[in-house]
Structure 1
């Protein structure tokens, strides 16, 4: 059963087509990857799914519901969360406070509510704090709970960025190059966390990543974009044998006379 259905999506910026009639689906509970050369339209696609961009045409459905007319925060409330490629954390705030801010859209009662609402607000705060602590434990950041994010190594900051999305307890998590700029040890840790999101938490993972070894090892299905068009869709084995994908990544070889 598809959890996400992208049908004939096109996106234009003036005369430039960032996406051209792209169609694919993501099954519930799988790790799905979107790959392609730089400038292929991968992040533009994530922006369409998360609501930052509005496609010029086509449809995007989440759990059978058309989400194109929804604001980003309404998509979040449905069960979609996103971690961005470029880290945009509050550097002077702790890991704990950054994750609590990521959770704020789930708050129903403000902590400053008075009178008869104070008790429900207090209970809600305890619940949300417990959820955030679970994310900290999941990402193995207990020792950095109260550390200002700006003082952390880059790899741990990327982990906090992913943690903000996890704090929303999404059904579908969108990860835009979560391993970019990491060393091999940090990549191995992130790959393990992605597998655990899938296997332990039952999340559907939508991954954009340039490390082809990681993509081929983790992915159930892969879609490939090139110049805004889908040139491949299938399993890892099918993608590795796809001549269009090989040409996009390696280029045509000229015959030597």
Structure 2
């Protein structure tokens, strides 16, 4: 498969601090691609550049061959790039269903007036969007909490709903920023299973940030390693485990093998 996302010579600078330093790599369509590295390496900054929250100082981002470097976040979402955040960005007082419906906002075409009056085209569109959401609810096995306010849910379930809201956009690329952070072992296993199912059954390209190296090595097709904003390694899990620079900077001997 060809490259769906290409990062070319990307640099991100905040004053005198260089968060990303001339980073280049490609993500193939249909793969699970992981970004790893020590805290402060630039991983979340990279996702912020891809999703449009940050505008890089230099370099370019291409999505399916189209330069999107200066596109605003909503336009990238409309093109097919969705993000689940490390810090949950849900509305705690709204139900699971309402949070997922909000994830469909960039797909809605009716205006405020027709949507508010709820007739004709607006009503038909509402039904169509509800059908899409129902599929996400079934897929993530959250039917039993659909009407529950998100703020009442366990942390693990909130993270699942966060992923569901990103899936509600029907993205081609799903950006997952530490989806297993703060979870217990059972919740991690559940999330890993959902990531595999999203990849295989929904045929989504996934870009994953995760500190659990067991998960990364098991799930990833390719891995990019950042350290102080620089790309110090790229390859398959086996190649990364045997990369001397990566071992020295991040993995350490105890995590290899």
The normalised TM-score by structure 2 is 0.95
* Residues in 2 aligned to 1:235 and 1:251: alpha-carbon distance in whole angstroms: 18
SS at 2:211 equivalent: coil
Matches within 5 A, 1:1-257: 1-110=2-111, 112-113=113-114, 118-249=119-250
Residues 130-155 of structure 1 show CA distances to partners (whole Å, capped at 9, x for unaligned) of: 11111111111000000010000000
Which consecutive residues of structure 1, in runs of 5 or more, have no partner in the other structure? Answer: 253-257
Question: Aligned pair count?
Answer: 251
* Residues in 1 aligned to 2:89 and 2:250: alpha-carbon distance in whole angstroms: 30
SS at 1:77 equivalent: helix
The offset of 1:176, in angstroms, is: 0.3
* Residues in 2 aligned to 1:250 and 1:133: alpha-carbon distance in whole angstroms: 41
SS at 1:180 equivalent: coil
Structure 1 stretches of at least 4 aligned residues deviating more than 6 Å after TM superposition: none
The offset of 1:110, in angstroms, is: 3.9
The offset of 1:118, in angstroms, is: 2.6
Residues 101-143 of structure 1 show CA distances to partners (whole Å, capped at 9, x for unaligned) of: 11111100147418x9931111110000011111111111000
* Residues in 1 aligned to 2:110 and 2:120: alpha-carbon distance in whole angstroms: 10
SS at 1:68 equivalent: coil
The offset of 1:249, in angstroms, is: 1.7
Residues 175-212 of structure 1 show CA distances to partners (whole Å, capped at 9, x for unaligned) of: 00000000111111111111111110111000000000
